[in-house]
């Protein structure tokens, strides 16, 4: 089984700060990467997807991918208390018409007012 690793946290940041979440993966052949946010008791919600090396920005969120280092990160700018959740990194192991996502254990983010 391919591995996806995240620091479980909690990562505590004050409101307005930048939160930096990191993820490493073991399968060098992986091609698609996802960040999901999961509030307690709720289902995962897709925040960002990234497929190419470099940065991808969407509002306050920036995903960064470095395939050579097998590293994916998520930056959350101007963090808000509503961003407090568990952030799951997921890597697609599949290479056909459907996905086979392997999730990291998640990083719990706490944003204090």
Q: Does 25 bind other proteins (CB under 8 A)?
A: no
Q: Is 103 in the site for other proteins (CB under 8 A)?
A: yes
DSSP string, the chain: ---EEE----EEEETTSPEEEEEEES-TT---EEEEEE-TTS--EEEEEE-SSEEEEETTEEEEEETTTTEEEEEESS--GGG-EEEEEEEE---SSS--EEE---EEEEEE-
The residue among 69 and 96 lying less far from other proteins, judged by its C-beta, is 96
Q: Note whether 2 binds other proteins by CB under 8 A.
A: no
Interactions with other proteins, residue window 36-55 (CB under 8 A): 42-46, 49, 51
34 binds other proteins (CB under 8 A): yes
Is residue 31 a contact point for other proteins (CB under 8 A)?
Answer: yes
């Amino acid at each position: 089984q391919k591995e996806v690793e995240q620091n479980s946290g909690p990562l505590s940041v004050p409101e307005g700060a930048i939160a930096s979440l990191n993820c490493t993966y073991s399968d060098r052949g992986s091609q698609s990467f996802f960040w999901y946010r999961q509030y307690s008791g709720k289902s995962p919600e897709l925040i960002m997807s990234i497929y190419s090396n470099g940065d991808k920005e969407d509002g306050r969120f920036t995903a960064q991918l470095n395939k050579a280092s097998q590293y994916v990160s998520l930056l959350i700018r101007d963090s808000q208390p509503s961003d407090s959740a568990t952030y799951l990194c997921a890597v697609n192991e599949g290479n056909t018409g459907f996905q086979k996502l392997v999730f990291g254990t998640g990083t719990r983010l706490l944003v204090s007012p």
